Amino acid sequence: MRIQVRLDEAESDLELRSLCEWLADDPAVGRSADVSLRKRENRPGEMGLGFDAVQLIVDSAFQLSSLAIAIDGWRRAYAARPKVTVERNGVRVAFATADTDGVRSILRALEELERLEDGGAGGGG
């Protein structure tokens, strides 16, 4: 299963690289997921960031709570706290920069992602 984490307000690849390294170095995430940067697909002549997401390839035993804790830790350490969007199988959820509820709000968003993907009730994205 693939999970993509995007930084919607990122101005450079540095923020995305920082998040990728943070997740890969996190013991609970790094040991359970293959973490990498996903290249942006630019059209000919189009310029932009080189990467568009951190991609995690995980199995069904992966704990979303571990991802929530790791993302919250990165956001607390990273002063800019950009808006984060998580996508899995075309279903997206986002959490805002001003959200101070930390792990709980991120976990709620990830659980909503799982609910929308598994049940499909009410659509997504």
Using CA atoms, how far residue 24 sits from 9, 34, 73, in Å, is: 22, 8, 13
Q: How far apart are CA 52 and CA 28, in angstroms?
A: 24
Inside any domain, residue 125: no
CATH number, domain with residue 95: 3.30.70
- Cα 110 → chain centroid: 9
Q: Which domain holds residue 104?
A: 2-119
- State CA 85 to chain mean position distance: 6
What's the pLDDT band for 123 if we cut at 50, 70, 90?
A: very low
Residue 121, pLDDT above cutoff 60 = no
Look over the chain and give the mean of its residue pLDDT values, rounded to a whole number: 79
The number of distinct structural domains making up the chain is 1
Listed ranges 35-39, 45-49, 91-95, 102-106; the one with the highest mean pLDDT: 35-39
